[in-house]
C-alpha cells in the first residue's frame, strides 16, 4: 500500500532539538517515543496514562502518540477518536512545539497521514478524497499526496475522477519516482470507467522507459483490443507475439504470454481457436512462474484446453489434480465449485454419467447459494445428458 511511504516518518517520529531546560512532560513523552520506536505500543499507552501535567503543545504531542499507538494495535476507530480535535484546526506553531517533522518538512502532515492510513486500512475509501484533497492544497510540493488523492478516488470506485487526478499527478510531477505507476493507473482508471478507446489511445502516449515497461504497455494494449475491440483481435495477438520475440527472457513477458494464451483459448472465434498452442504456452508459464497469483487459473485453463479438444480423459485428470493440489488453498469457494462443475461435465461428456451426477449432487449440498451449485442443480433437474 503506497500510503505506507507517508507513514515512514511516523515510524521514527523525529523530534526537533529544543534548546530548552528539561521539562518533566517532555521527558515523559520522550520515553513514550522510545517505546513507539521499539514497537511497544501497549507500553506507550500505559506510559501516556501515567504522564505528568502537560502543556497544550505537549498534550497535542501526547494525543498524536496515543493515536499512533492505537493504530499500531489495530484499534483504528479508537485512533480516529484520538485524532479528533487535532484536525483540521491544528496550528503549525503548536505542532512545531510538539515536535512533528513530516515528509516534506512541514508541520501538520503527519497526523493527517495517519488519519488517511487508518481509513485506507479499514477500506473506508469514501472518506479519503476529502483528506487527501486538503493535503494536496496544503502541501503541493509533495507529490505523494497528489498520487494518494488519485488512488483514493480509484479505491472509492470513482474512476472518472481517478483518471483526472492521475492525469494531474503525471503532469505536475513528471520526475516523481511514481510516475510510471501513475501512467498505468490512469489507463486502468479510464478502462474501469468504460472509456476504452481513450485508454487505448492514452497507452500510445506513454514513453516506454525500459523493456519491463514496454512489455506492460503492450500487454495492456493487447488486453484492451481482445476484450473490447474484438475486430482487432489479430492486432492483439501481434502485440504479444512481437514482445515475446523481442524480450523472451524479461520477467514481465509473462503478461504477454498469458494474454496470447487467453486469446487462443477464449477470445478468438470458436472455429479459429488454438487450444493446443494455448496449452503449450500455459504449461510453460506454470513451470516457469510457480509463484504467480493466478497459478490456479492457469491450471484450470490447461484443463479446459483438453476439454475444448474433446479430450475429456486428460481434462478429467487435470481437474482432479487441481482439486488434490489446491484442496487447502483455493482463493474462494466459488473456484472450488467451478472446478467441480467442470469435472462433472467432462465426466458426463466422456460417458461416465454416474460419476458426473455424483459430483453435481455433492456440489448442491456443499455449496448452497453458489452460482455453480445452482447450475449443477439445474443439470440434475433436467436429467443428466
What's the pLDDT tens digit per position in 297-317?
999 999 999 999 999 999 999
The stretch 360-367 carries a mean pLDDT of: 91
DSSP secondary structure of 113-174? HHHHHHHHHTT-GGGHHHHHHHHHHH-TT-HHHHHHHHHHHHHTT-HHHHHHHHHHHHHH-T
Asked if residues 361 and 377 have their Cβ atoms less than 8 Å apart, the reply is: no
Angstrom distance (rounded) from CA 13 to CA 113: 13
Cell readout for 195 is 472509456
Check pLDDT > 70 for residue 104.
Answer: no
Angstrom distance (rounded) from CA 198 to CA 181: 18
Considering only CA atoms, give the Rg of the chain. Answer: 28
Contacting residues for 268 by C-beta, under 8 A, at least 6 apart: 233, 274
Within 10 angstroms of residue 349's Cβ, the number of other Cβ atoms is 15
Q: Which residue has the cell 485506507?
A: 120
Where is 367: in which H helix or E strand?
none
For the question of whether the overall pTM of this predicted structure is more than 0.85, the answer is no
The tens digit of pLDDT for each residue in 177-217 reads 999 999 999 999 999 999 999 999 999 999 988 999 999 99
Amino acid at each position: 500500500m503506497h500510503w505506507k511511504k507517508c507513514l515512514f516518518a511516523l515510524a521514527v517520529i523525529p523530534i526537533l532539538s529544543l534548546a530548552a531546560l528539561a521539562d518533566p512532560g517532555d521527558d515523559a513523552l520522550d520515553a513514550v517515543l522510545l517505546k513507539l520506536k521499539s514497537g511497544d505500543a501497549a507500553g506507550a499507552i500505559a506510559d501516556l496514562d501515567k504522564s505528568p501535567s502537560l502543556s497544550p503543545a505537549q498534550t497535542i504531542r501526547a494525543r498524536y502518540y496515543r493515536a499512533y499507538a492505537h493504530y499500531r494495535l489495530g484499534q483504528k476507530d479508537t485512533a480516529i477518536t484520538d485524532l479528533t480535535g487535532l484536525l483540521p484546526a491544528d496550528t503549525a506553531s503548536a505542532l512545531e512545539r510538539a515536535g512533528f517533522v513530516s515528509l516534506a518538512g512541514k508541520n501538520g502532515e503527519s497526523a493527517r497521514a495517519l488519519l488517511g492510513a487508518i481509513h485506507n486500512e479499514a477500506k473506508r475509501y469514501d472518506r479519503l478524497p476529502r483528506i487527501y484533497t486538503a493535503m494536496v492544497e496544503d502541501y503541493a510540493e509533495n507529490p505523494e499526496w497528489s498520487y494518494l488523492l488519485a488512488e483514493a478516488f480509484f479505491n472509492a470506485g470513482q474512476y472518472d475522477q481517478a483518471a483526472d487526478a492521475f492525469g494531474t499527478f503525471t503532469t505536475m510531477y513528471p520526475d516523481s519516482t511514481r510516475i510510471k505507476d501513475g501512467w498505468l493507473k490512469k489507463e486502468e482508471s479510464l478502462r474501469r470507467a468504460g472509456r476504452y478507446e481513450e485508454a487505448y489511445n492514452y497507452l500510445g502516449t506513454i514513453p516506454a522507459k525500459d523493456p519491463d515497461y514496454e512489455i506492460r504497455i503492450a500487454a495492456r494494449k493487447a488486453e484492451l483490443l481482445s476484450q473490447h475491440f474484438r475486430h482487432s483481435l489479430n492486432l492483439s495477438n501481434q502485440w504479444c507475439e512481437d514482445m515475446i520475440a523481442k524480450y523472451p527472457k524479461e520477467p514481465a513477458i509473462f503478461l504477454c504470454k498469458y494474454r496470447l494464451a487467453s486469446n487462443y483459448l477464449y477470445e478468438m472465434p470458436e472455429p479459429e481457436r488454438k487450444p493446443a498452442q494455448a496449452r503449450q504456452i500455459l504449461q510453460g508459464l506454470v513451470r516457469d512462474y510457480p509463484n504467480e497469483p493466478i497459478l490456479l487459473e492457469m491450471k484450470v485453463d490447461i484443463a479446459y484446453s483438453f476439454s475444448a479438444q474433446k479430450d475429456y480423459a486428460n481434462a478429467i485428470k487435470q481437474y482432479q489434480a487441481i482439486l488434490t493440489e489446491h484442496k487447502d488453498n483455493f482463493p474462494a469457494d466459488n473456484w472450488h465449485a467451478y472446478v467441480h462443475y467442470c469435472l462433472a461435465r467432462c465426466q458426463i461428456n466422456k460417458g461416465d454419467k454416474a460419476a458426473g451426477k455424483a459430483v453435481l449432487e455433492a456440489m448442491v449440498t456443499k455449496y448452497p447459494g453458489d452460482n455453480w451449485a445452482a447450475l449443477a442443480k439445474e443439470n440434475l433437474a433436467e436429467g443428466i445428458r
